[in-house]
Structure 1
């Protein structure tokens, strides 16, 4: 509104301020965009940089929420893409302290999602949600929220891009039988069908190769895979594999 008032002349109502060439825009941001007053949102990007000199990531996320609520930015997605690292400052450090794991690694995609969850949390007391701002990225999965659980953190620590690259390499060499099993299993996972599959074959027929291709595909989507084998030697052949005892022993409760 401030920028429009400096440009518009003879306005007698709020609607007049948003009227550009006889057309009433839906918001002040749209009106500014039509007048190319905030084409690159440079002043907001510079404001974030200036604030960051003396303030923490927590404060920066709060400031970004104010910008969203005020409908100030012409292209919030552009500002987000350029300044998400600043807005995410402190999130990794907080998780390392919370989990007592100073070498914890959380990849960029998950850091972005954690930051979006925080922004959404700050919007809600003001009667808004992140989904109300169609120009902003959405929260892809609730899996980013329980990062206080070290087990989940470890299972989500795979680099999605690296997993996708590994999957593409494995996928090219699947034979016909492997491809049929791969297709059926991926379909079940993608559609949340909750099915069970039994893959049988003699030693060296490519069962482990199939499991690794499936694991890479699912992990590349930011999902959790638990690769479990009955013996230690077999588990070493699986990506991130563990024996059943090692994986589940701490969850078992023995009763007399």
Structure 2
């Protein structure tokens, strides 16, 4: 919604809007990250959560041919969205369910014949 407002409404002070409402705008990002890494105890500092929010906003704006650069003096994310995507792919790759993979291994291992061992 914030991106839609940036792109289609003449917001006089987008920085003030961001600073007043960044917690609401990012409230699901920590939950999503916890789900991805399968760690419900994961905590982020406020600046990390704000940065994740800015990255998400930048990605949405990029899909629409825009960027936060076009809305000065909006803060910019401290890492490039490309790096975030790469990190997300790594997190997804590492976020498998250990228990189900262990069960799968044990089941498949028990089905091996003598020559395969």
Give the TM-score normalised by structure 1: 0.32
Where does residue 63 of structure 2 map in the other structure?
A: 125
Deviant stretches of 4+, over 3 Å: 147-150
Q: Residues of 2 paired with 1:108 and 1:95: CA distance? A: 14
Where does residue 141 of structure 1 map in the other structure?
A: 79
Structure number with greater CO (CA < 8 Å, separation at least 6) is 2
Where does residue 107 of structure 1 map in the other structure?
A: 45
Where does residue 79 of structure 1 map in the other structure?
A: 17
Q: CA deviation at 1:141?
A: 2.2
Structure 2 runs not aligned, ≥5 long: 92-117
Indicate the RMSD between aligned Cα atoms, in angstroms: 2.0
Kindly provide the CA deviation profile for residues 100-152 of structure 1, in whole angstroms up to 9, marking residues without a partner as x. 101001111111111111111111122111122112101112497225656xx
Structure 1 runs not aligned, ≥5 long: 1-62, 151-256
Q: Residues of 2 paired with 1:91 and 1:112: CA distance? A: 10
Q: Residues of 1 paired with 2:58 and 2:43: CA distance? A: 23
Give the TM-score normalised by structure 2: 0.67
Number of positions where the alignment pairs a residue of Structure 1 with one of Structure 2: 88
3-state DSSP class of the match of 1:136? coil
Structure possessing the higher radius of gyration over alpha carbons: 1
- Structure 1's 101 and 86: CA in aligned 2 closer, same or farther, altered over 3 A? same
